[in-house]
Amino acid sequence: MKPVYLDNNATTRVDPEVVSAMLPFFSEQFGNPSSIHSFGASVGAAVKTARGQLQALLGTAHDHEIIYTSGGTEADNTAILSALESLPDRNEIVTSKVEHPAVLSLCQHLEKTGRAKVHYIGVDSLGRIDIEAYRAALSDKVALVTLMWANNETGTIFPIEGLADLAKEHGALFHTDAVQAVGKVPISLKDSSIDMLSLSGHKLHAPKGIGALYVKRGARFKPLLRGGHQERGRRAGTENTPAIIGLGKAAELALAHMSEEQTRVKALRDRLEGGLLQRIPNCFVNGDLHDRLPNTCNIAFEYVEGEGILLHLTRAGIAASSGSACTSGSLEPSHVLRAMNIPFTAAHGSIRFSLSRDNVDEDVDRVLETMPGILEKLRALSPFWTGDDKGGKEFKPVYA
């Protein structure tokens, strides 16, 4: 039976057209793009073309505002550390409680080592940022605001351009982790107040190990990696040419398929979501139903373990992921769902289904046929399930 892949927020299949574009740069066109001879010059021209393809997807004013990185994590780290170094008279950072660990872990480290004071802004039960708390945290002490464009677990979209405008009123730099948003929602940076934006290639059908950081022309910037003149001296190290070419092609394809993400992919997601809610009692959607990524569906199935659901789905040839960050043997739900105050018995049974343009109706049909039986089997074993659709026993754990 053909496997069903619904974990595209974790990573995507590399598009065959991307692979074809990359292949010559492993062998025939192997020159260093920084070299002035013919071997390097042709590769340098291809890198410039790829930069232009990414520029078109992001809607930037200049192609040199794009700095290639090894991925989203490097881009996030570069943006945050650059801001603190560029604005030495300011030592505060504003972020949210639901950011990706690539941002949260660094902020916590900076706080622990005394290099920055960090304001962690909360969200409501739909994952929407607390605007008033955000306004209150802004001051002339803030060097950087770093907020994700769309949440990787729930797909909830922050009003990122308005949040950037508010940050600029206080002279702070504004960075957004847009790893999940790029390629799924239209973006136009040239007319925005966003100073920096991170993206990762493997989230949009490019290979792993390549990403980019957008830095608006004129924004203060300090490099993370030194030791070479690549990327105009802003990111040292010989360019990963095949991956850069692949990212450029993937950006071109993402732009071409943008309307499909908003229509066909969204319709598949909605049919999957509606079908599960109709067929299975005691479940609900995590996140903002009105403002979220078109490909993401996070459903909390009450009174069961998410890991148990995933195990049964895997046996059925279906790949999804837990809505929680549970690891084997852990009872800790994800920091995102905790921030949203999702009840423990629901957060622990949350599953994220994330689609892409590769998915078809038959994939949705398989999940709709498979999931009710899994939930019935697991709930029969659950000590919290009362055996009807009126809910289970109340359970209120104390989080560490």
**Length, in residues, of the chain:** 400
Distance CA 37, CA 232 (A): 19
Q: Of the candidates 13, 19, 20, which has an alpha carbon nearest to the alpha carbon of residue 359?
A: 13
Sequence letter at residue 250: A
Q: Of the candidates 320, 318, 330, 322, which has an alpha carbon nearest to the alpha carbon of residue 370?
A: 318
Q: Of the candidates 287, 279, 340, which has an alpha carbon nearest to the alpha carbon of residue 157?
A: 287
Coil/strand/helix, residue 144: strand
Cα-based distances in Å from 267 to 32, 85, 255, 315, 359 = 44, 45, 19, 26, 11
Distance CA 134, CA 165 (A): 12
Catalytic residue among 107, 283, 297, 326: 326
**8 Å CB contact between 258 and 246:** no
Distance CA 296, CA 320 (A): 11
Q: Of the candidates 249, 244, 248, which has an alpha carbon nearest to the alpha carbon of residue 230?
A: 244
Sequence-separated (6 or more) residues with CB below 8 Å from residue 44: 33, 34, 35
Distance CA 357, CA 370 (A): 22
Distance CA 186, CA 171 (A): 26
Sequence letter at residue 237: G
**Does 107 participate in catalysis according to the annotation?**
no
Cα-based distances in Å from 276 to 145, 244, 328 = 38, 39, 26
Write out the two tokens for 347: 């957060």
Active centre residues (catalytic): 326
